[in-house]
Each structure stands twice: as structure tokens, then as C-alpha cells.
Structure 1
């Protein structure tokens, strides 16, 4: 860990957030949900400074916004922050968030796939339509992403836009996030009449959760403030590594599951178990 900052002053984020039966059923049907107050604004904001510090240090972009391609204009993307800072580790490995993931997917245990800060700069471009799981070499449908703003998000920026029910289709296209994936999935979603949902304004600590196969995109940022979002990708405990069928999945196999091979349980040292129902007994 590079951060020497004590994490003792940061809230534990260990208490339960109750998922009602109707919410569980809605998530299973639509492949996405918004949950208000997953963290109270004060909890989200107290972690914000450390997450922002890490993003500033690790920002991969060397070019001005206008000189980047569509993917580069979409956001500043930094992953595995929990391995850089004890403070961020406390946030990413929090029991509260992991239990929500377990409850929505209806599974016994939850492991981390990885985290990602996704900061959309003022004037940043749209995030093209895509499906997350085309990157992940996993033999399961039990994956889920928490997307939590660390600052209030206005109506004109909004949440991601989800195509309800597309998670039931599995891989619609193998295209990575790009102009091509945007065109392909936009036409698919529109032609088949899938409901498109954007949850609008969000408070710091609100969160959306979506399945790995749910098609989604995000609008650009027309405001003069950074859209600061932290995401955590979870997978069910016990799932296996799949044979990578693309260069994107081959890259993730090496980066996310060091030392593992197809057929192994997806549980390398950087995929810790963060919640199991047995812990509550």
C-alpha cells in the first residue's frame, strides 16, 4: 500500500442496507436498480478526498480532452485503487456494499473483481453503449457493479442510462467500448424496443447497481464540475475463470487473476471475499 494515512477515522460502512423483495425482483427483471442513501452523503464525502488524491496521482491521460478519442473523452478511469490506499481499501471492501450485491444477485458470498474510479471531466464526452462483461473472463452470470457518486450529480448529468432486460440476452456484441459498440448496441436497443432508464439527479452516496450483461451508456458532462464516481465490481464466490475468447479477456485474466488459469476458482489474492452469509450466523 502506498498510502500511509490512517483509516481509523473513516466510517466502517458495515451496517445493513435492507433490500426489499420488490427491489430484488425488479433487479432480476430489469438488470439494474437505483438505491438511495447506500451511504449517507457524509460517509461518501469523507472518503472522497483520498479517492480524488489517488485519481490525480494515477490519471492515465497525458493529452488535452479535445485531443483524445471517444473512449478517452468519456472519463478518467483508474482501477484497483484499493490496492494503493488503506483508506480506499476500507471503502471498497465494505461489508454494506458487498451484502447489497449478494442480496440483489441472491448468492451466498461475494468477492471483489476490481474497483474503478470513473471521473467525467467538465465538458467530457458521452460513454458509448457497451456491456461490461465482455471484458471479464468469468463463467457466470453472477456479476454486478455498484456505481456511486462521491458528489451530488445534477439532472443534466444524471446516472448511466440502462436498457432494461438486456442482461437476459448475454453477450449481444463482443465489441469493446467504442464508437462501434455505441452504434451496434444503440441500434439493437432501439430496434427491439428495450426500455431505456436514466435515474437522473443523484446525491453523494446514492448508488446504481447493474448486471455485467446489462447494456448501458452515459451522457456527457455539460457542466463545469467533475462527475466523481467510484465503482466496485463484484462476482459471486465460487465462480470459475472462463477460457478468454478475446484480447480484452486475455488482458483481464492476467491483470485480475494473476496465477490463475481457465477452470480455476476466481479467487486470486486480489479478489478477496468481502461478504458471506455464514458470517451473519
Structure 2
């Protein structure tokens, strides 16, 4: 699967600037989204029932839809990923959201593996702030002030996976190695969720990009959000 993902990333990646010319977000990783639309093998991977069932089990729901996939490649010398909450971006009326994060190569902490503020998802939205230097400063101080335990796997093998709630605070260090930290992610949400009226520009962009042709109040069920697992359905 890795060669097909790499090929899809190479064909779809639009970032050509060197690291020194990018902002904090751009230095954190190369981001390429919805690869399942461009490669049949990646399509089977992203829409696969196995990962989606794990997501459904962890969320305690019977049916889940795809939000989107994305490859996140942190280049050698790539900067840290600031603390943030994913669901800040998503115009969904449910907290039953989850992301699978899977390295495509063995990844240790020196490459910028994920770290999580355990239990922080229970607060829901802490502060509406995009991933940035500001989010890093605010949430790092928030985590310390509130005594959250930070969990960080020491090493993940290729094909291992972590799952995290859409509201959990998480971050990643910079890549101090000479190898690109290749990771593939898939975001899932509870079937039956409805679209919110966007309350900031980032959610408006997500509404237009990931829910084409849809309006606030409608079920989040565009052509880009297929059901990928339904309990009791025939595989």
C-alpha cells in the first residue's frame, strides 16, 4: 500500500516551496487530502471496513461515514505540529468523531510522532483557534495549568495506528531525523450527524470542500462522505 500512497501524494501535492519559506503550519507537514479519489488501491484502503469498524467501536456507534483521508508527511527538518483540536475545523453537530493516524514507516519520537493530552476531549471545544503558533502557546499553557497527562508512544511500526477523538488536544514534535515521517490518516464521524452553520472561516471552507452542494442543517452525507461501516451490513 505504501508505494500507491506515495504515488498518489506525488501526483497531488502542490507544495513546492522550501521549508524556510513556509509558515508554521506549512513547516509541520506536507498535507495531501482525499487520495482515495485518485487511486483505486488507496480507495480500498480508505473506504475499508476494518478500520471503520474500529472507529465505530471506539465511538460506540453503529454506523460511520468518511470525513476525509489525508497523508501527512513531515520532512527531515520539518517543524513541530502545534497543539490543536481537529474538530475546530469540522462543521458537524456531533462529538462522535475520530481520526486514525498510521505511520507508513517506523516512526520514533525523533521523527515527530503524535502526542495527546489524555482526557482533554471531555471538555469539547476549549478555544476556537486554528493550528498556529498561537494555538501552541495557549494549549501548552492550558495543558500544564490543568494537569493533563501527555501520552506519546515511544515508537510506532509501519502499519501501527493510533485513534484520537476530534476534540482531544494533540501535537507532534519536529522531525530531527534524516527520513520523512510518512503518515496516512482517515477521519470518521457518526452517521446521522448534521451540518452546522459555520461560525468561522475555517469551518466555512470545510463545509464547501468536504460537503459539496450541502447546506447547514442537512445530514452530512455528500458524495465525499460515504458510509464505510454499518453494523449488521453484509461486507
What TM-score results when the alignment is normalised by the length of structure 2? 0.97
Runs of 4+ residues over 4 Å off in structure 1: none
Q: Is the CA contact (8 Å cut-off) linking 1:61 and 1:76 kept in structure 2?
A: yes
Query: Is 1:236 paired with 2:190?
Result: yes
Residue from 141, 154, 161 that aligns with 2:108: 154
The residue aligned with 1:184 is 138
The residue aligned with 2:20 is 66
Query: Is 1:255 paired with 2:209?
Result: yes
The residue aligned with 1:14 is none
1:155 and 1:166 map into 2 onto residues whose CA distance is 21
The residue aligned with 1:216 is 170
Residue from 107, 114, 120 that aligns with 1:166: 120
**Within 5 Å, which residues of 2 pair with 1:189-204?**
189-204=143-158
Aligned length: 235
1:112 alignment partner, SS class: strand
Q: CA deviation at 1:193?
A: 0.5
**Within 5 Å, which residues of 2 pair with 1:118-137?**
118-137=72-91
Q: Is the CA contact (8 Å cut-off) linking 1:146 and 1:233 kept in structure 2?
A: yes
1:57 and 1:224 map into 2 onto residues whose CA distance is 23
2:117 and 2:35 map into 1 onto residues whose CA distance is 29
Q: CA deviation at 1:279?
A: 1.0
Q: CA deviation at 1:156?
A: 2.4
Q: Is the CA contact (8 Å cut-off) linking 2:74 and 2:112 kept in structure 1?
A: no
The residue aligned with 2:228 is 274
**Cα displacement string for residues 133-162 of structure 1 (whole angstroms, at most 9, x for unaligned residues):** 000000000000000011111342353110
What TM-score results when the alignment is normalised by the length of structure 1? 0.82
Relative to structure 1, the CA distance from residue 128 to residue 55 in structure 2 (aligned partners, 3 Å threshold; closer, same or farther) is: same
Q: CA RMSD in A?
A: 1.2
Q: Is the CA contact (8 Å cut-off) linking 2:103 and 2:158 kept in structure 1?
A: yes
1:205 alignment partner, SS class: coil
2:34 and 2:188 map into 1 onto residues whose CA distance is 13
**Cα displacement string for residues 151-180 of structure 1 (whole angstroms, at most 9, x for unaligned residues):** 111342353110011101111111111001
The residue aligned with 1:265 is 219
Q: Is the CA contact (8 Å cut-off) linking 1:158 and 1:199 kept in structure 2?
A: no
Query: Is 1:75 paired with 2:42?
Result: no
Task: Give the gaps of 5 or more residues in structure 2.
Answer: none
1:255 alignment partner, SS class: helix
1:240 alignment partner, SS class: coil
The residue aligned with 1:93 is 47
Q: Is the CA contact (8 Å cut-off) linking 1:60 and 1:76 kept in structure 2?
A: no
Query: Is 1:144 paired with 2:144?
Result: no
